[in-house]
């Protein structure tokens, strides 16, 4: 097993499933903290703020701080700031997305926004989707926090933001710029935060189509854990395999 200077860790399906922590993963994070190995939690979840995510992890017994959390909402807000477009947005999403955009000076506009930004919204409605479609047809830049079509919970897989995003794309014929994994946008932001190079870092995740592909596209070694969305059998059928395949994180040995 290669020695890495830093680690990127997914959350849903990697550290927990719904409200249930994955003990082996929590133990691994404790080891990272004890050895002072830099690590960042990188999640496509757009619904919560970094403070809320860190608090949730702490309640599960996983050591974390808000500065160690990179959500797709935070990444989206940073990306929007780089674009020479009117910094207004029609937003479909929950508290985490609204707060991230607001904190970065992006104001809401329901009439003529520069962007349409969609994240997971568990109170999605026809009216919200219709307004987004109208704005995209008028020329608003279409941004989606992530393409996850399904999310792992303690009850099973449920619809993700990618499923909602697809409604707007199907109606308008316009594909969005996705921000979260597997896009390089979020991974590049994560490496900048850690201050490490791609070849010095490993990405740990359960979902081949997001976590693992994100690492592959960014030139980062990947560690797939069979605790969430994508089973080992499915991963082995993919044309490009992760660097490592594990049943769970208790199989990974940190170098002394």
**Mean pLDDT per segment of 10 residues, for the chain of length 256 residues?**
92 89 95 96 94 95 96 96 94 96 95 97 96 98 92 78 96 97 95 96 94 96 92 94 94 83
The pLDDT value recorded for residue 256 is: 60
CATH code of the domain made up of 83-178 = 3.40.50.1000
The pLDDT value recorded for residue 71 is: 96
The pLDDT value recorded for residue 241 is: 97
Q: Is 10 a catalytic residue?
A: yes
The pLDDT value recorded for residue 152 is: 67
Per domain, the residue ranges of the chain are 6-44+181-251, 83-178
Token pair of 162 as six digits: 């990618």
Please pick, among 10, 209, 211, 221, the residue that the annotation labels catalytic. Answer: 10
Q: Is 148 a catalytic residue?
A: no
Please identify which residue in the block is written with the tokens 């409200």.
19
Nearest to 212 by CA among 226, 191, 200: 226
Domain 6-44+181-251 and domain 83-178 have a common topology:
yes
- The CATH superfamily label for domain 6-44+181-251 reads HAD superfamily/HAD-like (3.40.50.1000)
Measured between alpha carbons, how far is 40 from 69 in angstroms, rounded to an integer?
6
The pLDDT value recorded for residue 105 is: 95
Please pick, among 12, 206, 209, 211, the residue that the annotation labels catalytic. Answer: 12
The pLDDT value recorded for residue 255 is: 75
Measured between alpha carbons, how far is 97 from 31 in angstroms, rounded to an integer?
31
């Amino acid at each position: 097993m290669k020695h890495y200077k830093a680690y990127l860790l997914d959350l849903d399906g990697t550290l927990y499933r719904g409200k249930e922590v994955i003990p082996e993963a929590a133990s691994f994070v404790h080891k990272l903290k004890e050895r002072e190995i830099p690590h960042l939690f990188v999640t496509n979840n757009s619904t919560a703020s970094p403070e809320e995510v860190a608090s949730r992890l702490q309640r599960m017994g996983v050591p974390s701080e808000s500065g160690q959390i990179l959500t797709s909402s935070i990444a989206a807000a940073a990306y929007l700031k780089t674009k020479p477009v009117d910094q207004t947005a029609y937003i479909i999403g929950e508290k985490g997305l609204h707060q991230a955009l607001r904190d970065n000076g992006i104001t809401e506009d329901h009439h003529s926004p520069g962007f349409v930004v969609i994240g997971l919204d568990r109170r999605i409605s026809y009216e919200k989707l219709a307004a987004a479609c109208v704005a995209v047809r008028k020329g608003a830049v279409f941004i989606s926090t992530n393409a996850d079509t399904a999310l792992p919970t303690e009850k099973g897989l449920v619809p993700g933001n990618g499923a909602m995003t697809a409604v707007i794309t199907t109606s308008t014929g316009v594909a969005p710029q996705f921000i979260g994994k597997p896009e390089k946008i979020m991974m590049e932001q994560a490496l900048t935060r850690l201050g490490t190079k791609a070849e010095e870092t490993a990405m740990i995740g359960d979902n081949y189509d997001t976590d693992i592909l994100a690492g592959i596209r960014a030139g980062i070694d990947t560690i797939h854990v069979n605790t969430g969305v994508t089973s080992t059998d499915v991963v082995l059928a993919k044309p490009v395999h992760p660097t490592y395949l594990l049943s769970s994180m208790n199989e990974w040995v940190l170098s002394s």
